[in-house]
Amino acid sequence: MPQANATILGAGSMGTALSTLLAANNYKVTLWDMEEDVVRGINHLRSNPRSLKDIKLHRSIRATHNMQKALIGADLVVFVVASQAVREVASQAKDFIASNCVVVCAAKGLETGTHKTMTEVLGESLGSGFKNQITAFSGPTLAIEIAQKKPTAVMIASERSNTYSKRAVDAFKSDWFKVYETSDVVGVEYSGVAKHTLAIMAGMVFGLGYGSNTYGWLMTEGFRELSRLIWKLGGQEQTVYGIAGLGDALATCFAKGSRNRTFGELLGKGKSVAKANETIGETVEGIHAVDALFQISKKEKLNLPILQTIYQIVSNKKKASKSFTELLDNF
């Protein structure tokens, strides 16, 4: 049986980590990225000079910045670029993706302006012919732990179970990487967005010097608020309290290496949004997520005070210390 081919669009930390997983599952993997130093490092040094630098990559993993070369012969395409770049990258890729290809979206976010989910963006960009081939991939997936083969579980969501969703599950599953299938695309995608917001809040709580009591209180209330929003949008309760919801939120909020949590901690310590973002040096998906979720909550006429507080800090540049004092006084 010939070796299957997988293309990962985006050679950041998650793209690099997933390349190691697919390579271990006997896929020949091509990583696409715009940065020539990243492509050169992967091809010549067997490591990514930008992300997960200490992880040695298998020789079946190669890289290119040529979109057509990246996608030739691909049986599986994984989108792991920043959420705000998904539409542009998909538009570049659509003419080169084979008609029978499985498309997996591992990007977590909502498009600025339209507030569309990433699978909606992909559906529009790739065309109606791919409607039944696009799946959403989400769960507690810290990139370094995937690269280190630490036990992990994720959800793969598609509107209906079919041969494409089964192929996506089979591509990723292993003895240490568990994959569960669901039809709750809305719940999986919005849970992935909500966790960005919760992680920023988690960081701010610690950055402000509050203790575990405050952390437990605010995290519970924050999760409850965002759960209400997801249910209002059509997500299922079992998803919100499952791996893609609570599981992803717990992993990201407790992980000190999480970009969103680190960003929040810097805000809590008094840094401006711009300075905190600059310090992180990579995409902080929560910045867009906070704004999008707040705008959606207003449209849905939901009163979510914790989300509003985070929005005031991240989008309206209010001081975290003042905003949290007001929040706690008014609870």
Report the alpha-carbon distance of residue 276 to residue 249 in Å, rounded. 21
- With CA atoms as reference, report the closest residue to 203 among 327, 328, 314, 322: 314
Taking only Cα atoms into account, the Rg of the chain, rounded to an integer number of angstroms, comes to 19
Report the alpha-carbon distance of residue 79 to residue 66 in Å, rounded. 15
Question: Which H, E and C letters describe the chain, residue by residue?
Answer: CCCEEEEEECCCHHHHHHHHHHHHCCEEEEEECCCHHHHHHHHHHCCCCCCCCCCCCCCCEEEECCHHHHHCCCCEEEECCCHHHHHHHHHHHCCCCCCCCEEEECCCCECCCCCCEHHHHHHHHHCHHHCCCEEEEECCCCHHHHHCCCCEEEEEECCCCCHHHHHHHHHHCCCCEEEEEECCHHHHHHHHHHHHHHHHHHHHHHHCCCCHHHHHHHHHHHHHHHHHHHHHCCCCHHHHCCHHHHHHHHHHHHCCCCHHHHHHHHHHCCCCHHHHHHHHCCCCCHHHHHHHHHHHHHHCCCCCHHHHHHHHHHCCCCCHHHHHHHHHHHC
Classify residue 273 as exposed, middle or buried by CB count within 10 Å of its CB (0-12, 13-18, 19+): middle
Determine which one of 56, 94, 195, 269 is catalytic. 195
Verify whether residue 108 is a known catalytic residue.
no
Structure tokens at 157: 């969501």
Which positions are annotated as active-site residues?
195
